[in-house]
Structure 1
Amino acid sequence: MLGEPRRMKMLAWLQEEGSARVRDLAEAFSVSDVTIRQDLERLELEGHVVREHGGAYLKSVPQQVKAMALHHLVNMDAKRRIGRAAAALVEHGETIILDSGSTTTELAMNLAEHEHLTVITNALNIALILGALPTSTVHMPGGQFKAPTLSLSGERSADYFKGLFAQKLFLATGAVSFEAGLTFPALADITVKRAMIETASRVYLLADSSKIGKTSFSSLGGIENIHVLITDTGIRDEDHRAFLDAGIEVIIA
């Protein structure tokens, strides 16, 4: 992988995880520690990260956590429409899982009129939004806190879902393509998302059209893991047909 694309994937990793160690990045990208240090130095000069001994962390993390703000706030008009469309699919009294992310947060913002929901989420900000509603019950797994996504992750989070059942999972993704399937900027959330999928009867992928046909760093699996794609009007006609041909319902918000 060339230097600039590698640094962009490294930055996406840090925006997802908050920090990373040199040796983990070197192993993941199959380059030397020296190359990783040079990449981190470039990202620091550009104002994205702060280097520390053995690694680096995202510069904006303290401010994000204090403001309870997410980093990925591009294409927000599309994400708001997707969130509203997804909320319209939730029935009163259901048990649902909400993945962490900016689009699923928009979904949560549109659930105020729903009654007697049982919500399972790994996102602290979503738990605070829905936990304030007297007619909803919110459950959270344990695990490691990830500051940029305001979420809980890791094996403990994945174990929480064993023995649970939910009618619907609203899943986020970093990218989705027919070749690579569902992909994400980092590795830590993969086991949690797999556990969510196994728990839910029906899986809805919330992905704005800018993510379709793209790939990120780590793979969750193929598109057969989802039943419904909720996206926006920017989806290409050929991609729309390909999802339908794969047996996946497409809702355009």
Structure 2
Amino acid sequence: MDALRRLGGTARNSELANMLAVSEETVRRTIKALSKAGTVERVHGGAYLAGVQGDPSFFRRISQHAEEKRRIAGHIAKMVQDQMTVFLDVGSTTAFVAEELRRAGNLTIVSNSIGIGQALAGINGNRVHLLGGEMQSDERGTFGHVAHRQVQRYAFDLVVLSTDAILDRKGFLYQSLAEADLASVVVRNADHVVMAAAHFKFGETAPYVGPDPRMVHTLVTDRAPKGTLADSIGQWGVNVHVADGP
């Protein structure tokens, strides 16, 4: 309970395990017991304090379509090689990617996500750099001018981004202007840009435009896009990888 409070009232299992120096299985058993007592609320891969102020929207999102996100994350993890410099954003799918990367070694991980920093710091010789900037509690990450300045100093072998919607004619869209802006900055210093998005984001819309879709090299998803969206993705020059099923 104290660890959850120190992490702002919400946390991934991997964050709690790292902070408490116990196994994730121990964390899961403890959370299960605390949830029965009504002191915490369980979600897929994490928990939050019952009655926590604000909407734990990140944890609600990460618990939705978990199987599809896990498949996408497993596919992306195979693209990562030891000693790469990798950027991961605050998206719920990239949280699954971070869990997969706990098996990799000697990576330089750069992220604006508190959870990803907690999950990968000190694992297998990985070096983790957490961007500064203004904290947004609903996204559990940092954004703004400071984050933009810092991220431009890295040369990324691989950038992994999430998105809220993919729409033909408009590209990759976001509900948050701050997230759209940071994604647009990060792609400029990347050898390879991967967009991780499950099929339910196809044809959806959001108010803010993210990076130029022509700067995205690969879309990793769980189902192939069809129709006019598939045509647009082809015109943008984005390769589509469909993650293997269960």
TM-score (norm 1): 0.70
Per the alignment, residue 117 of structure 2 pairs with: 127
CA shift at 1:60, angstroms?
Answer: 6.3
Does the Cα contact within 8 Å between 1:180 and 1:221 map onto a contact in 2? no
Per the alignment, residue 111 of structure 1 pairs with: 101
Following the alignment from structure 1 to structure 2, what is the Cα–Cα distance between the partners of residues 237 and 252? 16
Following the alignment from structure 1 to structure 2, what is the Cα–Cα distance between the partners of residues 61 and 183? 28
Following the alignment from structure 1 to structure 2, what is the Cα–Cα distance between the partners of residues 116 and 155? 29
Per the alignment, residue 92 of structure 1 pairs with: 82
CA shift at 1:95, angstroms?
Answer: 0.5
Does the Cα contact within 8 Å between 1:212 and 1:235 map onto a contact in 2? yes
Q: Secondary structure at the match of 1:145?
A: strand
Question: Following superposition of structure 1 onto structure 2, how do residues 164-243 of structure 1 map, counting pairs within 5 Å?
Answer: 164-233=154-223, 235-236=225-226, 239-240=229-230, 242-243=232-233
Following the alignment from structure 2 to structure 1, what is the Cα–Cα distance between the partners of residues 225 and 52? 31
Does the Cα contact within 8 Å between 2:184 and 2:212 map onto a contact in 1? no
Per the alignment, residue 71 of structure 1 pairs with: 60
Following the alignment from structure 2 to structure 1, what is the Cα–Cα distance between the partners of residues 198 and 161? 12
Change (3 A) 1:222 1:130: same
CA shift at 1:200, angstroms?
Answer: 1.2
Match of 1:147 among 127, 137, 147: 137
Per the alignment, residue 244 of structure 1 pairs with: 234
CA shift at 1:63, angstroms?
Answer: 7.0
Does the Cα contact within 8 Å between 1:240 and 1:250 map onto a contact in 2? no
> How large is the RMSD of aligned CA atoms in angstroms?
2.1
Per the alignment, residue 160 of structure 1 pairs with: 150
Following the alignment from structure 1 to structure 2, what is the Cα–Cα distance between the partners of residues 168 and 221? 15
> Are 1:138 and 2:128 counterparts?
yes
Following the alignment from structure 1 to structure 2, what is the Cα–Cα distance between the partners of residues 134 and 174? 32
Per the alignment, residue 37 of structure 1 pairs with: none
Question: Following superposition of structure 1 onto structure 2, how do residues 8-87 of structure 1 map, counting pairs within 5 Å?
Answer: 62=54, 64=56, 70-73=59-62, 74-87=64-77
CA shift at 1:251, angstroms?
Answer: 0.5
CA shift at 1:61, angstroms?
Answer: 5.1
* Aligned structure 1 segments of 4 or more residues deviating by more than 4 angstroms: 59-63
Deviation per residue, 1:119-169 (Å, 9 max, x gap) = 000100011000141410000110111111111111111111123201110
Per the alignment, residue 43 of structure 1 pairs with: none
Q: Secondary structure at the match of 1:157?
A: helix
TM-score (norm 2): 0.72
* Comparing 104-113 and 131-140, the one that deviates more: 131-140
Per the alignment, residue 46 of structure 2 pairs with: none
Does the Cα contact within 8 Å between 2:68 and 2:198 map onto a contact in 1? yes
Q: Secondary structure at the match of 2:154?
A: coil
Deviation per residue, 1:20-75 (Å, 9 max, x gap) = xxxxxxxxxxxxxxxxxxxxxxxxxxxxxxxxxxxxxxx9655739xxx6331322
CA shift at 1:244, angstroms?
Answer: 3.3
Does the Cα contact within 8 Å between 2:184 and 2:210 map onto a contact in 1? yes
Change (3 A) 1:61 1:178: farther
Following the alignment from structure 2 to structure 1, what is the Cα–Cα distance between the partners of residues 196 and 109? 17
Does the Cα contact within 8 Å between 2:167 and 2:229 map onto a contact in 1? no
Following the alignment from structure 1 to structure 2, what is the Cα–Cα distance between the partners of residues 97 and 111? 12
Following the alignment from structure 2 to structure 1, what is the Cα–Cα distance between the partners of residues 176 and 149? 19
Following the alignment from structure 2 to structure 1, what is the Cα–Cα distance between the partners of residues 69 and 197? 8
